[in-house]
Amino acid sequence: MCRDNNKDGGIKIVEVSIVLPAYNEAARIESTVERTAAALREITPSFELIIAEDGSKDGTDKICEALAKKYDFIVHLHSDERQGRGRALNRAFKSSKGEILGYIDVDLATDMKHLSELIQYIRDGCDFATGSRMLPDSNVKRPFKRGFASKGFNFLTRSMLGSKLYDHQCGFKSFRREPLFKLLDDVKDTHWFWDTELFVRAQRAGFKVREFPVDWKHGGATKVNLMRDVFGMGSQIFRLWYEFLWD
């Protein structure tokens, strides 16, 4: 069962909708919401925060319910069973009201000073924008083995799928509403490869995509299983390559 908990059942158009994908994030979801809202208030008076809470078992849903009752800019989307990160994001964007859409990882690994930049690129005419940990001006602190795996994944994505991006997996992305919705139903992955597939398809469709350097530090515990999920994402690269081969 899925449900949508927000204060106002009416339709309210906003400039910016930011999604926070959350799975078992009871320890930090409230702090993340407060910090994200504070950053957004400096950027726009018209925003909503959508918590895409995906089958949590640690009480995250109760915290999110309380936050949605406390703040009229929060929408809580709950699923009783885990859908997968991509499916949760897809659902959240389809329920959003903003013209500029985006999502950020709950661990706030990307420095929030970049949030205004993330939104401004879309205001200035980009269709898709993403923070990058792989550009020369990026400032990154992460475990070696995760950095090595990420570089391998991004190399395969560039070489096999023709992407021009250097970092496809940074959880700090924004979109203009119309281009995003033209591609949402074409994205087949429902978990960690979702945003990679979206940005590869965006480039192939000719949309204006911007990648920019960010300050990023490892946010502690991660929901990514290095062996299982990296193998799974690798198989998705081959799946998409095969699809494009027959286009």
The structural domain count of the chain equals: 1
Q: What does the DSSP 8-state code read for residue 124?
A: T
Q: Take residue 177 and report the two structure tokens written for it.
A: 């509403």
Q: Residues of the chain whose pLDDT is less than 50? A: 3
Residue range 148-169, pLDDT digits in tens: 778 889 999 999 999 999 999 9
Full domain range(s) for residue 94: 2-245
pLDDT of residue 166: 96
Asked about 247 being catalytic, the answer comes back as: no
What is the end-to-end Cα distance of the chain in Å, rounded? Answer: 37
> Given 186, 195, 215, 247, which residue is catalytic?
195
Euclidean distance between CA atoms 212 and 175, whole angstroms: 14
Q: What burial letters (b/e) apply to 89-113, b meaning 16+ CB within 10 Å?
A: bbbbbebbbbbbbbbbbbbbbbebe
Taken in order 129, 135, 141, 146, the sign of the CA dihedral is: positive
Cα 15 to its chain centre, rounded Å, is 18
- What is the structure's pLDDT at 81? 87
pLDDT for res 228 = 61
- What is the Cα–Cα distance from 124 to 230, expressed in whole angstroms? 34
Beta partners for 53? 22, 78
What was the pLDDT predicted at 227?
A: 57
Question: Comparing C-alpha atoms, which of 241, 170, 164 is closest to residue 208?
Answer: 164
Q: What is the pLDDT of residue 11?
A: 57
CA 24/CA 29 separation, integer angstroms: 9
- pLDDT at residue 29, rounded to an integer: 96
**Residue 124's CATH number:** 3.90.550.10
